[in-house]
Amino acid sequence: MAKQTMTTLGEFLNQQRLQKKVTFAELAKSCSMATPTIWKVIKDKARPKDLTLQELSESLNIPLQELFSIRDKTRYPSTKRRT
């Protein structure tokens, strides 16, 4: 049997973005966010805040609960800084 891979939040959002033919810049503008912020979320470099998911949900017409569910299963890099 083939191993089933889990889709991360970033992968899911990118699929939705591409299906709707929306660029990073267009998505950022529609969410009132900076393009680098959208890039970090779609590349799974940063765990998006609830408000960010709400904006993405509205912009891409995806149920918010679906995004929360996928986010909770996605692993993100540690954000702890060394002192």
pLDDT in tens, 41-79: 999 999 999 999 999 999 999 999 999 999 999 999 876
Distance CA 40, CA 31 (A): 14
pLDDT beyond 60 at 25: yes
What per-residue confidence (pLDDT) applies to 77?
86
Q: Which domains does the chain have, with CATH numbers?
A: 9-73 (1.10.260.40)
Portion of the chain with pLDDT greater than 70, in percent: 87
Using CA atoms, how far residue 81 sits from 69, 77, 78, in Å, is 27, 11, 8
Distance CA 23, CA 9 (A): 17
